């Protein structure tokens, strides 16, 4: 039985989330390598080979509930393995291959993976961290031999309960070891079906360069499958290759974290040489979107809809939507709550400002090997996001900053995101990151790292004066350092921890050192 045979529906199995179509030979996945190679798999091929991979896992002795790690760059086989494992009731665990080996080893042990499926570039890492788990390489004979991934017998996907674990994603671990977020079949069927109603991607070509171990990319990939549209998969994000793929495949829908888009915008020569007119929508999430970035995107792709989205691995990617009355979303806001998502702001400034808590059909089940009391779930079933938001009179919500990024300077609460938004109002500032450093009088004080627009000439004093003009004095950065580009974390977000260390080192030297 294949997912295209909807007369024998296996229930809510997330692995069968391939939309019905009268064109089974339509490309579902196009892998575009950095060497210019193309790997194309149709809906029929993905569906059949997912069944075949499920059978191979069962033949190998894995059973329902077992976990397998996926340690690979983006590629079509990755998607097939993910879908096939889920069909068999075996739980895929996408792993961040940029993590150090000690962290990868923790993940393998924490989820009790029985197998680690990898690509050739990460084979040595897989062998080093697998422990008692088997290692299989996509590019070697055996289970990893793509040509064997065809069903050798009829296969029927398991019919899970809505709350059965379908997949596990590990959080980035910025405040400790990563935690495994258990996501159910029911929750992410709901996510996909809800987003189909919102976006309707059936005729779109979606470009995915963010890593599939991150919710931003993985949720969109599942939406592509459910929509029976087409995904162009890059192994990873490289701005020139990303630009080339847009024109080469006439991509209509882009998704990325804001720093990826900022890097693309720096490629002036490549942008001038390529046609971007196919793009209809750009969806950005996982990090704040500045007004300047929105303006730059609108100038580059004047016909494209720019979507500022919000979601979390634990709470799901469906939280906020456009206003039901059609009111325009204010710059910086992420929308109003989805009608099936309950949100509230908690804290002394609630209900107009506070930590976002949400309850949603797309929420996680909990964390691997952690009690519910340690799962960030409240007694009445809300997920505590740790993200501080403000809310206006029309119920539009705007991200203020991470609660754990907040610091106190001279008795005032400073949210770095607030200062960063003020700084990026300046037309010459592309990106900014604000971090605290110790101060004898204030306890801590804000300092900033700034990336300027190409060709711009801005002084530290001018940046401070801009901040003082647009925000309370206690928010202005006491030091400003200029960087050609801000460092990124393993999920392509600005690496705030690395910049904190740079700031401490600079101030501890003599206060004058510039990174």
Q: Which of 427, 433, 364 has its CA nearest to residue 405? A: 433
Spatial contact of 464 and 514, defined as CB atoms under 8 Å apart: no
Asked if residue 159 and residue 138 are part of one domain, the reply reads yes
Mean pLDDT confidence for 360-375: 84
| For residue 392, pLDDT beyond 60 | yes
CA angle 170, 216, 189 (to 5 degrees): 85
Question: pLDDT digit string (tens) for 431-458?
Answer: 899 998 888 777 788 999 998 888 888 9
282: in domain = no
Asked if residue 33 and residue 16 are part of one domain, the reply reads yes
The helix/strand/coil state of 373 is helix
Separation between Cα atoms, residue 341 and residue 315, nearest integer Å:
10
Q: Which of 166-175, 281-290, 345-354, 397-406 has the lowest mean pLDDT?
A: 281-290
End-to-end CA separation in angstroms for the chain: 59
Q: Which of 41-45, 83-87, 170-174 has the lowest mean pLDDT?
A: 170-174
Separation between Cα atoms, residue 475 and residue 431, nearest integer Å:
17
Asked if residue 482 and residue 390 are part of one domain, the reply reads no
| For residue 10, pLDDT beyond 70 | no
Asked if residue 133 and residue 95 are part of one domain, the reply reads yes
Spatial contact of 337 and 319, defined as CB atoms under 8 Å apart: yes
- pTM (two decimals): 0.84
Asked if residue 224 and residue 150 are part of one domain, the reply reads yes
Asked if residue 378 and residue 431 are part of one domain, the reply reads no
As given in the structure block, the two tokens for residue 71 are 């340690």
Separation between Cα atoms, residue 382 and residue 347, nearest integer Å:
15
The size of the chain, in residues, is: 515
Separation between Cα atoms, residue 126 and residue 105, nearest integer Å:
9
271: in domain = no
12: in domain = yes
Which residues constitute the domain of residue 118? 6-236
Separation between Cα atoms, residue 317 and residue 332, nearest integer Å:
18
- Determine the pLDDT at residue 504: 86
Asked if residue 382 and residue 495 are part of one domain, the reply reads no
Mean pLDDT confidence for 1-18: 61
Which CATH number fits the domain that encloses residue 451? 3.30.300.30
Q: How many domains is the chain built from?
A: 3
122: in domain = yes
| Last residue of one domain, picked from the residues 383, 403, 423 | 403
Asked if residue 469 and residue 362 are part of one domain, the reply reads no
| Last residue of one domain, picked from the residues 387, 403, 419 | 403
Asked if residue 452 and residue 471 are part of one domain, the reply reads yes
Q: Which of 182, 179, 231, 205 has its CA nearest to residue 14? A: 182
- Determine the pLDDT at residue 37: 94
Q: Which of 417, 393, 389 has its CA nearest to residue 496? A: 417
310: in domain = no
Mean pLDDT confidence for 484-488: 86
* DSSP conformational letter for 153: S
277: in domain = no
Question: pLDDT digit string (tens) for 33-54?
Answer: 999 999 999 999 999 999 999 9
Asked if residue 55 and residue 82 are part of one domain, the reply reads yes
Which CATH number fits the domain that encloses residue 74? 3.40.50.12780
Do strands 113-118 and 134-137 pair parallel, antiparallel, or not at all (unpaired)? parallel
Question: pLDDT digit string (tens) for 222-246?
Answer: 999 999 999 999 999 999 999 999 9
Mean pLDDT confidence for 70-92: 96
Question: pLDDT digit string (tens) for 111-140?
Answer: 999 999 999 999 999 999 999 999 999 887
Asked if residue 499 and residue 412 are part of one domain, the reply reads yes
CA dihedral over 499, 500, 501, 505, signed as positive or negative = positive
| For residue 284, pLDDT beyond 50 | yes
| For residue 160, pLDDT beyond 90 | yes
> What share of the chain in percent tops pLDDT 90?
54
CA atoms within 13 A on the CB side of 163: 2
Q: Which residue has the higher pLDDT, 346 or 297?
A: 346
| For residue 275, pLDDT beyond 90 | yes
47: in domain = yes
Asked if residue 151 and residue 34 are part of one domain, the reply reads yes
Separation between Cα atoms, residue 16 and residue 3, nearest integer Å:
5
| Last residue of one domain, picked from the residues 355, 374, 403 | 403
- Determine the pLDDT at residue 6: 36
- Determine the pLDDT at residue 505: 84
Separation between Cα atoms, residue 358 and residue 337, nearest integer Å:
10
Q: Which of 61-75, 383-397, 496-510 has the lowest mean pLDDT?
A: 496-510
Separation between Cα atoms, residue 51 and residue 81, nearest integer Å:
9
Which CATH number fits the domain that encloses residue 341? 2.30.38.10
276: in domain = no
Separation between Cα atoms, residue 83 and residue 49, nearest integer Å:
9
């Amino acid at each position: 039985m294949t997912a295209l045979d909807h007369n024998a529906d296996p229930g809510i199995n997330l692995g069968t989330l391939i939309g019905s179509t009268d064109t089974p030979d339509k490309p579902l996945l196009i892998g575009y390598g950095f060497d210019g190679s193309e790997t194309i798999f149709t809906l029929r091929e993905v569906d059949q080979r997912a069944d075949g991979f499920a059978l191979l896992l069962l033949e190998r002795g894995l059973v329902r509930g077992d976990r397998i790690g996926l340690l690979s760059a983006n590629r079509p086989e990755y998607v097939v393995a993910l879908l096939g494992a889920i069909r068999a009731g075996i739980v895929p665990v996408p792993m961040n291959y940029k993590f150090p080996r000690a962290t990868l080893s923790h993940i393998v042990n924490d989820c009790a993976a029985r197998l680690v499926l990898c690509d050739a570039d990460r084979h040595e890492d897989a062998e080093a961290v697998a422990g008692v788990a088997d290692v299989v390489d996509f590019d070697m004979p055996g289970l990893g031999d793509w040509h064997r991934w065809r069903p050798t017998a009829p296969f029927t996907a398991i019919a899970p309960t809505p709350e059965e674990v379908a997949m596990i994603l590990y959080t980035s671990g910025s405040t400790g070891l990563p935690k495994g977020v258990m996501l159910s079949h029911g929750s992410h069927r709901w996510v996909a079906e809800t987003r189909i109603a919102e976006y309707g991607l059936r005729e779109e070509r979606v470009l995915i360069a963010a890593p599939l171990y991150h919710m931003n990319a993985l949720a969109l990939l599942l939406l592509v499958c459910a929509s029976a549209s087409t995904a162009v998969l890059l192994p990873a994000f490289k701005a020139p290759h990303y630009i080339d793929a847009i024109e080469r495949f006439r991509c209509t829908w882009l998704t990325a974290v804001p720093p990826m888009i900022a890097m693309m915008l720096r490629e002036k020569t490549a942008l001038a040489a390529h046609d971007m007119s196919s793009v209809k929508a750009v969806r950005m999430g996982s990090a704040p979107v500045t007004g300047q970035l929105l303006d730059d995107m609108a100038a580059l792709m004047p016909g494209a809809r720019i979507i500022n989205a919000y979601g979390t691995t634990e709470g799901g990617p469906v939280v906020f939507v456009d206003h039901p009355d059609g009111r325009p979303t204010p710059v910086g806001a992420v929308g109003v709550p989805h009608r099936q998502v309950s949100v509230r702001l908690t804290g002394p400034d609630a209900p107009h400002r506070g930590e976002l808590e949400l309850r949603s059909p797309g929420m996680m089940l909990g964390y691997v090997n952690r009690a519910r009391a340690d799962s960030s779930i409240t007694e009445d079933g809300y997920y505590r996001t740790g993200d501080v938001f403000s809310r206006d009179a029309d119920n539009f919500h705007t991200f203020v900053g991470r609660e754990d990024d907040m610091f106190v300077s001279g008795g005032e609460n400073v949210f770095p995101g607030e200062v960063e938004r003020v700084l990026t109002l300046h037309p010459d500032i592309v990106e900014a990151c604000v971090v605290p450093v110790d101060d004898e009088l204030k306890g801590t004080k804000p300092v900033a790292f700034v990336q300027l627009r190409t060709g711009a000439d801005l002084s530290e004093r001018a940046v401070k004066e801009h901040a003082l003009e647009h925000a309370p004095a206690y928010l202005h950065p006491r030091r400003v350092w200029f960087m050609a580009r801000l460092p990124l974390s393993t999920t392509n977000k600005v690496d705030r921890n690395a910049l904190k260390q740079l700031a401490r080192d600079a101030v501890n030297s003599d206060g004058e050192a510039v990174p």
